[in-house]
Structure 1
């Protein structure tokens, strides 16, 4: 039965291919492609814009159409352009020697009061270099910023640092920057805005960008909360630092071409670090806008922190994986948001949510999807899940409704004028989500008891109480979807949930996701940089990784997700040893990975033609002087790997470090030499790690830990051997 449709697809594809070859496809089928050409040309007299036009004219075959097709030229920090092309024109451009890569523009997605105390940076922390911190500029690529937030008050700030070359672009609901938020730009190269939600300016109508900005570098604001929930002092990790916002995300997502334009500007503007809580499926380093932008940032000494994505806990879901990026996962802090429920039979239970509503009555009528179904429910979906269209307003109005959850039933119940919802979710309830009406998420076991109660009486009742904060000693552990539950500043042009009908406008909101974790790591990096302004991005990243606290893991998936552990910013200021990397290190790595010599040469801006076969090869299994070590088994079970590393002494001038290895049964780890002796600061020493053993049948991961110690410093490197099984789907 499937043969005929497949044949039709084949002939359609063949027909389309013929059209493309002939070049007669309608211009309306042209799509934006990014043409990346590596480093900005240094040769005198070369105009990047003219070169772009010449390449386009050659590929398209018509000078006027080439001029009309070009959308934007990049040329401040790297070389390239974006144009509307047909597939065969894109292919023709990719074959040009001056072009590194050509890839279609895609849209990516967006992936505190207590947090900084939990990470060891209390409000009264004495170890701050405030003067240096005020000269640090944190650039954020996000949804914009609400500069009127108290977190961005510029009282006591001097003028922007002399190195700042950026702009403050005004527009709708955005009339100024200040001495705290010193720069703001917005990018919409495709001119594709939703006139109902998007505003053509750097203003934040979503809330995400304001939240991440204040988490990284927000001013200290006492008495902050969300309707009394999570009350305390909200502040960023580096409250004295400056903020530059680059708005690249709109209601339709975050376009690659806008992300690259923002990187191009941010690098030239003089930012010190970049935080970008945006992601998409992993691609080749040269076909990925964030990978490209962050590489050129690294060349200028700018560390880029990126969120790892929220598609966990399964293998192969991490995003933003280029080794020059600091990729940040999400973990818990030492509190959770509990929403209590009481049933008419006296049963008390609780779930997890951000419920800002206090009950107005002692009890409310309670029902479930089956009892509240309308006569045409089967047409629309699953009544037990309260799918939209399955329920009767008459049977829901004024009642709390129990639903088998997917997490969005609160909108449906609110639309039907319900009083609240209890959602049983067949997933870990370890993140708190704000609900549109009174609501909470419970585990299935609790849900079954609630459903049984509803079906056991003619007049079931319940009440949902306002969320309260409960301290927990189990933190930190990796969040199931990959900072979690973070209170930070919010835009007053966005509601608490962002859902239609939500009229709650607040100065602070609680959000979860790796988006929230990313600015924490960026701020930690800025904190380290305020003490070590000359350190490279790799050195700062190494300091944060090797001083991190190993995570509490309960499964193989969590082991893969936990990385080096939870950052400890105050320890990272004095790491003892660092694993540093420079441009030549990345060059050898890219050669080892099999990338084209010409493309690598253009990427790094090499004047002479690069030949990977003639440069010193990357040594060891992974070929990169990285603070962690990993080995990926394919089909075999025998383990044999050699890692070569070099460390730089940034601790005591005269010091002696001894190696200690913690390894599981079945894994042998040998370090040579086992003692490293340093006689001066910034001296380097090299060592080799030999890993041998076998993976037992049914096992997928073996992990070890290498620790160098001089009794004052502990420099930790995780060693991971894993075997990736075929995907389940």
Structure 2
């Protein structure tokens, strides 16, 4: 009999990863032993874990010192610091399904739900009550409870099935009847981390995913006036439970497994996970193990497919019981108008929150602004750091060939802005630190360069970004592709959902670019990635579950994957 995934997760929650350590240095491993037998006492499970370690290590004190934590609610397992040969011996013990080293994983709106055809409120009052009893669990970077998206006005107390809790911590104001749970896990912290032990979101990612899935409607939401509208989640009446497993150094397997073990026991109805990592065999994969035990308890897990596309065979989170979500577009695009001194008007792409107030600025390029001699190195056309002279850049808009860091360089030199020429159109643009926009080199970029080189006194202005309509949907270029490597016979991703420039709630503890020198803070922000797609699918699953509370995770997943047209009955009720 193969043990269930529940045991293995216990080990994951407390181990920490030591990269490249010698063979005689202990590293954190997760020991997975399957599912916890019904009514089995937790103390009995912990004693079993200790006895296993004692037999392996051979010393009572060392066994106690090596153990990091035990899982024991749904998942039977523990985490411990082991030598490689000890891990090997443990794997051979009866009742042990797998032993694997703890690793770190990475983090992978005003319009998206309208585009998907899901109206903001339900006309069916009984269904609205059912929806408010749904608890959506998210494993992420924490949450900013002060966001207007999580206001609990009109909410009653949490559903009786809720067994979770709200951890305390720095800058965390506590839970309410909307955000009913907030836990944090940092089991592999060796003391070197500067992260505060708190469920609060200092990154913005967790707040964004939570609001995308279940944020209440907030009118007049925008990022400095861009994409102004009503921001809302797909199931705005649902409750939110946040499990913080991601920190500045990534998302540890141990923490992920511990969060799964708690979330299942806490009473969540669905789990959303916008975290990715290299594909592994299921018994060595914390997400596969955790989501398996969730599935056994009737809880569907939705996961991001990864952001390594368009390269083939890059899809992540591929276990068959997971709803694996790729990224697609909505029908909204961001453009910034460029006007030249000779009256020529063209447009670029990207999110520029700055207004230059129709004032023309001197316009130059890397070749004209360089401070290099013939013996120096660096690509002046790309405005590489160190290639430009401050006296030639200050107060000017600089045209640079494509890269993602020109705004940093031009800002350091007191430039007024930058226009970045890229070789191929992109569907994902980052917020910049100064007025900036992107153009396709062959389409508009070369014309701008010729204007600079053929004009005695070139000038230009970049206008603030506006939204325009575009054809949709299409798969985002960065969305990871199949076939999957673990089991090529199982097709992944399962589905796509909006993941491009999604507007969602954001933390007040970091700027909209994440840069410490940026002084722009906002209650909402744009983010892209399959991280944004996963909460869309989670909300859709929660919506289905509100109508069919007795459906299994497989039934809900099948309904989402195979439905090809709008249900008239649901449309009438929504």
The TM-score, its normalising length taken from structure 2, stands at 0.88
**What are the Cα deviations for residues 495-540 of structure 1, in whole angstroms up to 9, with x where unaligned?**
1110231111101111111111111110000000001000000100
Kept in 1, the 8 Å contact 2:145–2:173? The answer is: no
Kept in 1, the 8 Å contact 2:23–2:84? The answer is: no
1:675-686 alignment, distance < 5 Å: none
Kept in 1, the 8 Å contact 2:328–2:473? The answer is: yes
Higher relative contact order at CA 8 Å, sep ≥6: structure 1 or structure 2? 2
* Structure 1 residue 251: Cα displacement: 1.0
| Residue equivalent to 1:338 | 335
| Residue equivalent to 2:179 | 181
| Residue equivalent to 1:69 | 66
| Residue equivalent to 1:542 | 558
Q: Is the partner of 1:509 in helix, strand or coil?
A: strand
Alpha carbons of structure 1 residues 448 and 541: separation in structure 2 relative to 1, 3 Å: same
1:281 partnered with 2:278: yes
**What are the Cα deviations for residues 328-385 of structure 1, in whole angstroms up to 9, with x where unaligned?**
1111111111111122233322222111100045211222223323337976632222
Q: Give the distance between the partners of 1:208 and 1:435, measured in 2 at CA.
A: 18
Match of 1:416 among 403, 413, 432: 413
1:534-573 alignment, distance < 5 Å: 534-548=550-564
| Residue equivalent to 1:92 | 89
Q: Give the distance between the partners of 1:572 and 1:548, measured in 2 at CA.
A: 15
Alpha carbons of structure 1 residues 427 and 105: separation in structure 2 relative to 1, 3 Å: farther
| Residue equivalent to 1:149 | 147
1:443-458 alignment, distance < 5 Å: 443-445=440-442, 446-458=444-456
1:144-293 alignment, distance < 5 Å: 144-191=142-189, 198-293=195-290
Alpha carbons of structure 1 residues 43 and 500: separation in structure 2 relative to 1, 3 Å: closer
Aligned residues: 529
Q: Give the distance between the partners of 1:455 and 1:277, measured in 2 at CA.
A: 47
Q: Give the distance between the partners of 2:53 and 2:344, measured in 1 at CA.
A: 71
| Residue equivalent to 2:507 | 491
Alpha carbons of structure 1 residues 218 and 378: separation in structure 2 relative to 1, 3 Å: farther
Q: Give the distance between the partners of 1:380 and 1:36, measured in 2 at CA.
A: 53
| Residue equivalent to 1:82 | 79
| Residue equivalent to 1:295 | 292
| Residue equivalent to 1:522 | 538
* Structure 1 residue 416: Cα displacement: 2.0
CA RMSD of aligned residues (A): 2.1
Q: Is the partner of 2:386 in helix, strand or coil?
A: coil
1:493-512 alignment, distance < 5 Å: 493-512=509-528
| Residue equivalent to 1:622 | none
Q: Give the distance between the partners of 2:568 and 2:370, measured in 1 at CA.
A: 58
Q: Is the partner of 2:433 in helix, strand or coil?
A: coil
1:31 partnered with 2:47: no
| Residue equivalent to 2:303 | 306
Gaps of 5+ in 2: 1-20, 480-498
Q: Which stretch of the first structure deviates more once superposed, 136-145 or 443-452?
A: 443-452
Alpha carbons of structure 1 residues 89 and 383: separation in structure 2 relative to 1, 3 Å: farther
Kept in 2, the 8 Å contact 1:393–1:417? The answer is: yes
* Structure 1 residue 62: Cα displacement: 2.4
* Structure 1 residue 468: Cα displacement: 0.1
Kept in 1, the 8 Å contact 2:358–2:463? The answer is: no
Q: Is the partner of 1:72 in helix, strand or coil?
A: strand
Q: Which stretch of the first structure deviates more once superposed, 264-273 or 73-82?
A: 73-82
| Residue equivalent to 2:12 | none
Kept in 1, the 8 Å contact 2:122–2:128? The answer is: no
Q: Is the partner of 1:330 in helix, strand or coil?
A: strand
Larger radius of gyration: 1
Q: Is the partner of 1:310 in helix, strand or coil?
A: coil
Kept in 1, the 8 Å contact 2:366–2:399? The answer is: yes
Q: Give the distance between the partners of 1:572 and 1:317, measured in 2 at CA.
A: 38
Alpha carbons of structure 1 residues 25 and 203: separation in structure 2 relative to 1, 3 Å: closer
Q: Give the distance between the partners of 1:402 and 1:572, measured in 2 at CA.
A: 54
| Residue equivalent to 2:134 | 136
| Residue equivalent to 1:392 | 389
**What are the Cα deviations for residues 626-659 of structure 1, in whole angstroms up to 9, with x where unaligned?**
xxxxxxxxxxxxxxxxxxxxxxxxxxxxxxxxxx
Alpha carbons of structure 1 residues 227 and 58: separation in structure 2 relative to 1, 3 Å: same
* Structure 1 residue 55: Cα displacement: 1.9
| Residue equivalent to 1:690 | none
Alpha carbons of structure 1 residues 376 and 186: separation in structure 2 relative to 1, 3 Å: farther
Q: Is the partner of 1:424 in helix, strand or coil?
A: strand
**What are the Cα deviations for residues 451-483 of structure 1, in whole angstroms up to 9, with x where unaligned?**
2222223432221110001012x1011111111
* Structure 1 residue 306: Cα displacement: 0.5
**What are the Cα deviations for residues 126-174 of structure 1, in whole angstroms up to 9, with x where unaligned?**
3571000000000000111000011000000000000000000010001
| Residue equivalent to 1:9 | none
Q: Is the partner of 2:560 in helix, strand or coil?
A: helix
Q: Give the distance between the partners of 1:56 and 1:167, measured in 2 at CA.
A: 31
Q: Which stretch of the first structure deviates more once superposed, 369-378 or 91-100?
A: 369-378
* Structure 1 residue 60: Cα displacement: 2.4
* Structure 1 residue 42: Cα displacement: 4.3
* Structure 1 residue 175: Cα displacement: 2.9
Q: Is the partner of 2:153 in helix, strand or coil?
A: coil
The TM-score, its normalising length taken from structure 1, stands at 0.70
Q: Give the distance between the partners of 1:540 and 1:250, measured in 2 at CA.
A: 31
Alpha carbons of structure 1 residues 313 and 261: separation in structure 2 relative to 1, 3 Å: same
1:550-629 alignment, distance < 5 Å: none
Alpha carbons of structure 1 residues 98 and 487: separation in structure 2 relative to 1, 3 Å: same
**What are the Cα deviations for residues 390-436 of structure 1, in whole angstroms up to 9, with x where unaligned?**
32222222221222222222122222222111112234321232111
